[in-house]
Chain A
Amino acid sequence: MTRRLVQLLLASLLVLTVRGKVAAQQAATDLLAQGMRAYQSLDYDQAAAILRRGLTRTVGDTLSTAERLQALTYLGASELFRDRRDAALAAFRQIAATDPRYRPSEIIFPPQVTGVFGEARQQTKTVFFQVQQETEFRAKTEHFTARLVASSPHDVAVTITTGDGKLVRRLYDGPIADSLAVTWDGLTEERNPVQSGRYTLRVAPRAAGAGQLARQLSLEILRAKPDTQPWPAGAGLAKGTPLPLPSSSSSGRR
């Protein structure tokens, strides 16, 4: 009897938990919708407060990336019309640090908003990686390629390091405008093929300061076993083929 009661209680708790989660998910998108409505109704104080509530949720229901960018845009615009320009810039910088390609709608947001957004984007110096999940190449003769997309033009240093931060290879040192393809032939600075292991592709802005965000991508290198067939003369690969596999998404360091 007691066991049956416990089972019933557990079942009802489960139902309550599930229902609670659904309600919370509705609340997250509802906050965004309410904030947007308040913005359109010119209630900027209310819009900013509601949107901040939606954006600061970290557990349970959270906004998707697209919703978050939308919320930040409305928040920045609301702050701008509240004469809080610094708060607007801060919201817009968060957008630029999340997605360098994102632009506020020029249909919805007037030039004073898109102008301040452009200013925030120019102040934010960071890059984003576009890499294939898995790449196979022969060291020295072939390349692993990573495309870097910049939030705004700046100078960067691109390196490969070991997991504990020792320099393996300098790949690029110079300006990036919109985007840049960097390649790595799988060799160290001494032109030896790297061993299997975890490496880091790191892109750091050359100037330090606010809005300068380094990015890094973890690479899992697997060296293939030597083929039983002999290598053609001059191929230059003694022991195997490095295979860089991005093992995690990019992560920012602020």
Chain B
Amino acid sequence: MARRVELGHVSINAIPWGRAYVDGQLVGTVPLIDVPIRPGTHALRVEREGFHPYERRFEIGSGQRLKITDIVLRELAP
């Protein structure tokens, strides 16, 4: 019998606001709330013109709700 896998949900915010990608796929502009996502390890990237992109990996479990809100993008040197 197959075990039912429940999706996790990730919420993302950043200063400044920017576009968020999970595993290379654009998921939207932050703030993002409760984006459904398969359990496992994922790559998050937030980018905004004029700023260094932010990248990190995160792990999310089945049915877990995760918040990543401490993202700060550093400005590119002029």
Residues of A within 8 A of B (CB): 40-42, 81, 107-112
* B:11-58 near A, CB below 8 Å: 11, 13, 15-17, 29-31, 33
Closest Cβ–Cβ distance, residue A73 to chain B (whole Å): 14
Given A81-B33, A110-B30, A111-B29, are A42 and B17 neighbors across the interface (CB < 8 Å)?
no
A181 to B42, CA, bound (A): 59
Interface band, chain B: 10 to 19
Contacting residues, chain A, for B29 (C-beta < 8 A): 110-112
- Docked-complex contact B16 and A42, CB < 8 angstroms: no
A40 to B67, CA, bound (A): 11
Closest Cβ–Cβ distance, residue A117 to chain B (whole Å): 14
**Residue B64 CB within 8 A of the other chain:** no
Residues of B within 8 A of A (CB): 11, 13, 15-17, 29-31, 33, 67, 69
- Docked-complex contact A108 and B17, CB < 8 angstroms: yes
Q: List 7 A-B contacts (CB under 8 A).
A: A40-B69, A42-B31, A81-B31, A107-B16, A107-B17, A108-B15, A112-B29
Given A81-B31, A110-B29, A110-B30, are A41 and B67 neighbors across the interface (CB < 8 Å)?
yes
- Docked-complex contact B11 and A110, CB < 8 angstroms: no
- Docked-complex contact A41 and B17, CB < 8 angstroms: no
Closest Cβ–Cβ distance, residue B10 to chain A (whole Å): 11
- Docked-complex contact B15 and A42, CB < 8 angstroms: no
Contacting residues, chain B, for A110 (C-beta < 8 A): 17, 29-31
Q: Which residue of A lies closest to B11 (CB)?
A: A42
- Docked-complex contact B33 and A40, CB < 8 angstroms: no
A109 to B16, CA, bound (A): 8
Contacting residues, chain B, for A81 (C-beta < 8 A): 31, 33
- Docked-complex contact A41 and B69, CB < 8 angstroms: yes
Closest Cβ–Cβ distance, residue B14 to chain A (whole Å): 9
Contacting residues, chain A, for B69 (C-beta < 8 A): 40-42
Closest Cβ–Cβ distance, residue B47 to chain A (whole Å): 14
Q: Which residue of B lies closest to A109 (CB)?
A: B17
A107 to B67, CA, bound (A): 21
Given A41-B67, A42-B69, are A108 and B13 neighbors across the interface (CB < 8 Å)?
no
- Docked-complex contact A108 and B31, CB < 8 angstroms: no
Please indicate which of the listed interface residues B11, B29, B30, B69 has the most CB atoms of chain A within 10 Å of its own CB: B69
Contacting residues, chain B, for A112 (C-beta < 8 A): 29
A40 to B16, CA, bound (A): 11
A107 to B69, CA, bound (A): 16
Q: Which residue of A lies closest to B51 (CB)?
A: A107
Contacting residues, chain B, for A42 (C-beta < 8 A): 11, 13, 31, 33, 67, 69
Contacting residues, chain A, for B15 (C-beta < 8 A): 40, 107-108
Closest Cβ–Cβ distance, residue B37 to chain A (whole Å): 16
